[in-house]
Amino acid sequence: MKHKIAIVGFGGMAGWHYDEIKTIENLEIAGIWDIKEKQRNHAADMGLHVYEGLEDLLADKTTDLVLIATPNDVHKPVAIAAMRAGKNVISEKPVTLSSADLQEMIDVSEETGRFLTVHQNRRWDEDFMTVKKILEEGKLGELFRLESRVHGSRGIPGDWRQEKEHGGGMILDWGVHLLDQLLLLFADVPLYSVYATVTHVTNQLVDDGFYTELVFENGVSAMVEVGTSNFVSLPRWYVLGTDGTAVIEDWQLNGKIVRASGVDEKDVMPVITAAGLTKTMAPRRDDSIFTEPLPEVKSDVREFYYNVMAVLEGREESLIRLPQVMRVMKLMEAIGRSAETGEVIKLRL
Ligand code: NAD
C-alpha cells in the first residue's frame, strides 16, 4: 500500500527525512509547508510540491501522514490540527515541551483515532544497539552501573535551540535521545530517584548541557551527560557488570569488553606511585582477563518508517510507544526540577 507524507517545517532535519524517504518503497512526499520563503523555494527547487499554507496541506486528501519537523514548540499545535484534520502524525523529537502538553496530544489522538508517533531515530544508533546486545547476552554478569555521554565543544547551535520559548536547550535536544535509550534498557524497572545539574557555559537562557544521576529500584545506577564545551570527549558508553566492563568510545564503535577469566592472580603486584603504593588499583595480570571486541550489530533506521506504515496498515504495533515517550518527558521534567532545587527527586517512574 502506498503512503503519501506531507512535511511541515522544511529545515535541516526535514532534509534528512527527504533523503531517507527517497529510498523507501511505498512512501512518497506529497509536499511541504514552511513559514520561510527561502525554505519553500529550496523545496520547489528540489522538485517538491509546496502548499499554500498549513490549511492547504491539511486539506490534501491524498496524504495520510504528516511529518512535523519544525522547532519544538510548534509540534503540539500542528500535531493537534493535523489529527483533527484526519491525518496520522509523526512528530520530530522532543514530541513537545511538557508532559501536560503531551497528554493533550495523546487525548486528541485517542479522540480522533489518529496515529501519533515520535521520531526517536536514535534507537537505531549502532552504539546503543551494541549496549543493548551486550546486556541481552549477559556477558558482563549482573549490571550495576551504566554511563551514557555525548560531548561536543561548539556550544549550543545558534538558532531557536538557544531560545526557551521554542523549546531550546540540550535536555530537550540531545537529552531526549539519551534518556529514551536509557529508559528502554530499563523498560521493566521503575526509576526511583533523579539528581541533575545543568550548565550555562555558552548560554544563559537555556541549558547548554546537563548531568544526571539516576537510581532504579533494582539498585542499578546510571548517569547521562550532555556537554557542549568539552574539548576532550569521554567515552560514549561505559557499562559495568559484576563479571566485566564494556566501553564504547565513539560513534565509530571503537571499544572493547574486558571480563574476568577466572584465573586467580594470587599475589597482586602493587603499583608504586610517587607518594605510595596500591594493590587495589593495580592493573590486572594478562591471564586474569579476557579482552574481546564489541559484538556486531546491524542497523537500518528506515525500520522506523517501515513500522509506521505497518501500523497504518494494521500489521504491527508501534515501536515507539506513547507511554515510553511520556516516561521520558516526565524524566526530563524531574531533571529540570532537580537542577533548579538542587534536590534529589524521588519518584516511581
Ligand atoms: P531548522 O531550524 O533547521 O528547521 C525548522 C524549520 O521549521 C525551519 O525551516 C522553519 O522556518 C520552519 N518552521 C518554523 N515554524 C514553522 C511553522 N509554524 N510552520 C511551518 N514551518 C515552520 O531545525 P531542525 O534542525 O530541522 O529541527 C527541526 C526539528 O527536528 C526539531 O524538533 C528538532 O528537535 C528535530 N531534530 C531531530 C533530529 C533527530 O535526530 N531526530 C535531529 C535534528 C533535529
Residue 199 has pLDDT above 90, yes or no: yes
Distance CA 277, CA 210 (A): 36
Residue 54 C-alpha to ligand 1 middle, in angstroms?
Answer: 15
The protein residue whose alpha carbon is closest to atom 15 in ligand 1 is 70
Ligand 1 pocket, residue 41 CB under 6 Å:
no
The protein residue whose alpha carbon is closest to atom 31 in ligand 1 is 71
pTM: 0.97
> How high is the pLDDT of residue 224?
98
- What nine digits make up the cell of 208? 547548554
8 Å CB contact between 80 and 104: yes
| Cis-peptide into 293, omega within 30 deg | no
Which of 7, 10, 13 has most ligand 1 atoms within 8 Å of its beta carbon, as the pocket-test mutant? 13
What is the percent of the chain with per-residue pLDDT over 70, rounded to a whole number? 100
Mean pLDDT calculated for residue range 61-88: 98
> How high is the pLDDT of residue 263?
87
Residue with cell 547521562: 224
Nearest one of 338, 304, 307, 300 to 93, comparing CA atoms: 304
> How high is the pLDDT of residue 149?
98
Residue 189 has pLDDT above 90, yes or no: yes
- What nine digits make up the cell of 345? 527527586
Which of 17, 32, 34, 68 has most ligand 1 atoms within 8 Å of its beta carbon, as the pocket-test mutant? 34
Q: Predicted confidence band at 158 (pLDDT cuts at 50, 70, 90)?
A: confident
Distance CA 131, CA 138 (A): 11
Q: Predicted confidence band at 28 (pLDDT cuts at 50, 70, 90)?
A: very high
Could you report the per-residue pLDDT of 223-271, keeping only the tens digit for each?
999 999 999 999 999 999 999 999 999 999 999 999 999 888 888 889 9
242: burial class by Cβ within 10 Å (0-12, 13-18, 19+)? exposed
The percent helix, strand, coil of the chain (3-state, each to 5) is 35, 25, 40
> How high is the pLDDT of residue 262?
87
> How high is the pLDDT of residue 265?
81
